[in-house]
Amino acid sequence: EPEVTQTPSHQVTQMGQEVILRCVPISNHLYFYWYRQILGQKVEFLVSFYNNEISEKSEIFDDQFSVERPDGSNFTLKIRSTKLEDSAMYFCASSASYEQYFGPGTRLTVT
Amino acid sequence: GQNIDQPTEMTATEGAIVQINCTYQTSGFNGLFWYQQHAGEAPTFLSYNVLDGLEEKGRFSSFLSRSKGYSYLLLKELQMKDSASYLCAVSGNYQLIWGAGTKLIIKP
Protein backbone atom coordinates (compact mmCIF):
# COMPACT_ATOMS: atom_id res chain seq x y z
CA GLU A 1 0.00 0.00 0.00
CA PRO A 2 1.43 3.40 -0.92
CA GLU A 3 2.37 5.65 1.96
CA VAL A 4 3.72 9.09 2.72
CA THR A 5 7.31 9.06 3.88
CA GLN A 6 9.22 11.72 5.80
CA THR A 7 12.89 12.27 6.55
CA PRO A 8 14.55 12.62 8.92
CA SER A 9 12.54 10.96 11.65
CA HIS A 10 14.27 13.16 14.23
CA GLN A 11 16.17 16.41 13.75
CA VAL A 12 18.03 18.25 16.46
CA THR A 13 19.16 21.77 15.65
CA GLN A 14 20.40 24.87 17.40
CA MET A 15 18.31 27.99 17.69
CA GLY A 16 18.78 30.25 14.68
CA GLN A 17 19.74 27.46 12.31
CA GLU A 18 17.86 26.58 9.16
CA VAL A 19 16.20 23.20 8.82
CA ILE A 20 14.62 21.45 5.88
CA LEU A 21 12.08 18.73 6.49
CA ARG A 22 11.44 16.39 3.62
CA CYS A 23 8.37 14.51 2.52
CA VAL A 24 7.56 12.16 -0.32
CA PRO A 25 3.79 12.22 -0.86
CA ILE A 26 1.83 9.38 -2.42
CA SER A 27 2.62 9.48 -6.11
CA ASN A 28 -0.79 10.18 -7.65
CA HIS A 29 -1.85 12.72 -5.02
CA LEU A 30 -2.18 16.37 -5.98
CA TYR A 31 -2.75 18.07 -2.63
CA PHE A 32 -0.02 18.37 -0.02
CA TYR A 33 -0.04 19.65 3.52
CA TRP A 34 2.18 20.37 6.47
CA TYR A 35 0.93 20.19 10.04
CA ARG A 36 2.70 20.46 13.34
CA GLN A 37 1.93 19.10 16.78
CA ILE A 38 3.67 20.45 19.84
CA LEU A 39 4.05 17.73 22.46
CA GLY A 40 0.78 17.21 24.30
CA GLN A 41 -1.10 19.71 22.18
CA LYS A 42 -3.42 19.52 19.21
CA VAL A 43 -2.50 19.18 15.58
CA GLU A 44 -2.15 22.58 13.87
CA PHE A 45 -2.44 23.30 10.18
CA LEU A 46 0.52 25.09 8.63
CA VAL A 47 0.06 25.14 4.87
CA SER A 48 -1.56 23.42 1.93
CA PHE A 49 -0.07 23.19 -1.56
CA TYR A 50 -1.70 22.47 -4.89
CA ASN A 51 -0.62 22.92 -8.47
CA ASN A 52 2.82 24.11 -7.42
CA GLU A 53 1.61 26.91 -5.22
CA ILE A 54 0.37 27.55 -1.72
CA SER A 55 -3.41 27.27 -1.61
CA GLU A 56 -3.89 28.14 2.04
CA LYS A 57 -1.72 28.95 5.04
CA SER A 58 -2.28 29.57 8.71
CA GLU A 59 -1.10 32.40 10.94
CA ILE A 60 1.69 30.12 12.16
CA PHE A 61 3.15 29.96 8.65
CA ASP A 62 5.01 33.27 8.72
CA ASP A 63 8.01 34.49 6.74
CA GLN A 64 10.27 32.03 8.55
CA PHE A 65 8.54 29.14 6.80
CA SER A 66 8.56 28.17 3.16
CA VAL A 67 7.54 25.13 1.14
CA GLU A 68 8.84 23.77 -2.11
CA ARG A 69 8.21 20.95 -4.47
CA PRO A 70 11.70 20.84 -5.99
CA ASP A 71 11.01 17.84 -8.21
CA GLY A 72 8.16 15.50 -9.06
CA SER A 73 8.31 13.57 -5.83
CA ASN A 74 9.62 15.63 -2.91
CA PHE A 75 7.77 18.23 -0.88
CA THR A 76 9.84 20.21 1.63
CA LEU A 77 9.23 22.52 4.55
CA LYS A 78 12.00 24.97 5.36
CA ILE A 79 12.31 26.90 8.59
CA ARG A 80 14.85 29.67 8.06
CA SER A 81 15.85 30.58 11.59
CA THR A 82 14.54 28.12 14.13
CA LYS A 83 13.23 29.18 17.52
CA LEU A 84 12.81 27.13 20.65
CA GLU A 85 9.05 27.19 20.16
CA ASP A 86 9.43 25.48 16.78
CA SER A 87 10.16 22.24 18.63
CA ALA A 88 7.33 19.93 17.62
CA MET A 89 6.35 16.96 15.52
CA TYR A 90 5.91 17.98 11.90
CA PHE A 91 3.57 15.89 9.79
CA CYS A 92 3.31 15.92 6.04
CA ALA A 93 0.07 14.73 4.44
CA SER A 94 -1.17 14.22 0.91
CA SER A 95 -4.55 13.59 -0.64
CA ALA A 96 -6.22 12.84 -3.93
CA SER A 97 -9.63 13.90 -2.65
CA TYR A 98 -10.93 14.35 0.88
CA GLU A 99 -8.93 11.73 2.78
CA GLN A 100 -5.55 12.98 3.89
CA TYR A 101 -2.82 10.41 4.40
CA PHE A 102 -0.23 11.35 6.96
CA GLY A 103 3.45 10.55 7.02
CA PRO A 104 5.09 9.28 10.22
CA GLY A 105 6.34 12.73 11.13
CA THR A 106 9.66 14.42 11.86
CA ARG A 107 10.38 15.27 15.46
CA LEU A 108 12.17 18.63 15.48
CA THR A 109 14.04 19.58 18.63
CA VAL A 110 15.47 23.09 18.80
CA THR A 111 18.06 23.63 21.52
CA GLY B 1 -13.81 32.38 15.58
CA GLN B 2 -13.33 28.70 14.89
CA ASN B 3 -13.77 26.19 17.64
CA ILE B 4 -13.91 22.42 17.94
CA ASP B 5 -14.77 20.87 21.29
CA GLN B 6 -14.42 17.29 22.40
CA PRO B 7 -13.95 15.70 25.83
CA THR B 8 -10.38 15.53 27.02
CA GLU B 9 -10.47 11.95 28.24
CA MET B 10 -12.84 9.00 28.42
CA THR B 11 -12.57 5.56 29.96
CA ALA B 12 -14.35 2.43 28.77
CA THR B 13 -14.23 -1.31 29.28
CA GLU B 14 -12.96 -3.87 26.79
CA GLY B 15 -15.87 -5.28 24.78
CA ALA B 16 -18.13 -2.32 25.51
CA ILE B 17 -19.35 0.58 23.34
CA VAL B 18 -18.20 4.18 23.66
CA GLN B 19 -19.41 7.38 22.02
CA ILE B 20 -17.06 10.34 21.60
CA ASN B 21 -18.79 13.63 20.91
CA CYS B 22 -17.53 16.62 18.96
CA THR B 23 -19.12 20.03 18.53
CA TYR B 24 -17.81 22.60 16.12
CA GLN B 25 -18.18 26.21 15.06
CA THR B 26 -16.25 26.98 11.90
CA SER B 27 -16.47 29.60 9.18
CA GLY B 28 -16.52 27.01 6.41
CA PHE B 29 -17.56 23.39 6.22
CA ASN B 30 -16.49 20.83 3.66
CA GLY B 31 -16.82 17.79 5.87
CA LEU B 32 -15.91 16.38 9.26
CA PHE B 33 -13.20 13.83 9.86
CA TRP B 34 -12.31 11.48 12.66
CA TYR B 35 -8.72 10.38 13.05
CA GLN B 36 -7.08 7.99 15.47
CA GLN B 37 -3.69 8.85 16.93
CA HIS B 38 -1.58 6.55 19.05
CA ALA B 39 1.01 8.26 21.23
CA GLY B 40 4.04 9.33 19.22
CA GLU B 41 2.49 8.35 15.92
CA ALA B 42 0.78 10.11 13.03
CA PRO B 43 -3.01 10.46 12.83
CA THR B 44 -4.72 7.74 10.80
CA PHE B 45 -8.00 8.28 9.00
CA LEU B 46 -11.12 6.69 10.45
CA SER B 47 -14.13 8.36 8.88
CA TYR B 48 -15.51 11.26 6.87
CA ASN B 49 -18.99 12.80 7.01
CA VAL B 50 -20.17 15.56 4.72
CA LEU B 51 -23.92 14.89 4.79
CA ASP B 52 -26.14 14.46 7.84
CA GLY B 53 -26.52 10.94 9.12
CA LEU B 54 -24.60 7.90 10.14
CA GLU B 55 -21.63 6.36 8.34
CA GLU B 56 -20.76 2.84 9.42
CA LYS B 57 -17.40 1.19 8.89
CA GLY B 58 -16.94 -2.07 10.74
CA ARG B 59 -16.68 -1.48 14.48
CA PHE B 60 -16.58 2.30 13.97
CA SER B 61 -19.50 4.58 13.06
CA SER B 62 -19.62 8.34 12.76
CA PHE B 63 -22.64 10.62 12.86
CA LEU B 64 -23.07 14.19 11.68
CA SER B 65 -25.69 16.87 12.23
CA ARG B 66 -24.69 20.01 10.35
CA SER B 67 -27.54 22.11 11.72
CA LYS B 68 -26.40 21.35 15.27
CA GLY B 69 -22.68 21.53 14.55
CA TYR B 70 -22.36 18.10 16.13
CA SER B 71 -20.74 14.78 15.41
CA TYR B 72 -19.98 11.63 17.30
CA LEU B 73 -17.73 8.65 16.81
CA LEU B 74 -19.11 5.33 18.04
CA LEU B 75 -16.73 2.49 18.76
CA LYS B 76 -18.19 -0.97 19.34
CA GLU B 77 -16.67 -4.15 20.75
CA LEU B 78 -13.80 -2.20 22.20
CA GLN B 79 -10.37 -3.80 22.08
CA MET B 80 -7.28 -2.86 24.08
CA LYS B 81 -5.62 -1.64 20.88
CA ASP B 82 -8.35 1.03 20.61
CA SER B 83 -6.62 2.91 23.43
CA ALA B 84 -5.57 6.08 21.62
CA SER B 85 -6.53 9.69 21.08
CA TYR B 86 -9.45 10.34 18.75
CA LEU B 87 -9.26 13.59 16.85
CA CYS B 88 -12.22 15.43 15.37
CA ALA B 89 -11.31 17.72 12.47
CA VAL B 90 -13.38 19.97 10.24
CA SER B 91 -12.42 20.74 6.68
CA GLY B 92 -12.61 24.42 5.79
CA ASN B 93 -11.33 25.16 2.33
CA TYR B 94 -8.04 23.30 2.03
CA GLN B 95 -7.09 23.06 5.66
CA LEU B 96 -8.23 20.80 8.46
CA ILE B 97 -9.15 22.51 11.72
CA TRP B 98 -8.47 20.12 14.59
CA GLY B 99 -9.95 19.52 17.98
CA ALA B 100 -7.61 18.81 20.86
CA GLY B 101 -8.48 15.11 20.78
CA THR B 102 -10.13 12.72 23.22
CA LYS B 103 -7.84 10.29 24.97
CA LEU B 104 -9.65 6.98 25.23
CA ILE B 105 -8.49 4.60 27.93
CA ILE B 106 -9.64 1.00 27.66
CA LYS B 107 -9.70 -1.11 30.80
CA PRO B 108 -9.85 -4.91 30.79
Read off the pLDDT band of A6 (50, 70, 90).
very high
pLDDT at B92: 76
Nearest to B100 among A33, A42, A100 (CB): A42
Examine the pLDDT at A89 and tell me if it is beyond 80: yes
User: For A53-88, what is each residue's pLDDT tens digit?
Assistant: 999 999 999 999 999 998 878 999 999 999 999 999
- pLDDT in tens for each of the 108 residues of chain B? 678 999 999 999 999 999 999 999 988 898 999 999 999 899 999 999 999 999 999 999 999 999 999 999 999 999 999 999 999 999 876 678 899 999 999 999
pLDDT at B96: 85
Could you tell me which of B83, B5, B43, B99 has the C-alpha nearest to residue A41?
A: B99
Mutate which of B9, B48, B96, B103 to disrupt the A interface (most A C-beta within 10 Å)? Answer: B96
Do the Cβ atoms of A45 and B44 come within 8 Å? Answer: no
pLDDT above 90 coverage of chain A, percent? 86
Mutate which of B36, B95, B98 to disrupt the A interface (most A C-beta within 10 Å)? Answer: B95
Q: Which residue of B has its CA nearest to A58?
A: B95
Examine the pLDDT at A43 and tell me if it is beyond 70: yes
Distance from CA of B99 to the nearest CA of A (A): 7
pLDDT at B93: 67
Residues 52-81 of B with CB under 8 A from A: none
Beta-carbon contacts of B35 under 8 Å, excluding residues fewer than 6 positions away, are B43, B44, B45, B46, B86, B87, B89
Size of the A and B interface in Cβ pairs below 8 Å: 53
Is A27 an 8 Å CB contact of chain B? Answer: no
Q: Is residue A67 within 8 Å of residue A78, measured between CB atoms?
A: yes
Could you tell me which of A86, A48, A98, A46 has the C-alpha nearest to residue A69?
A: A48
CB-CB neighbors (< 8 A) of B96 in chain A? 33, 35, 43, 45, 100
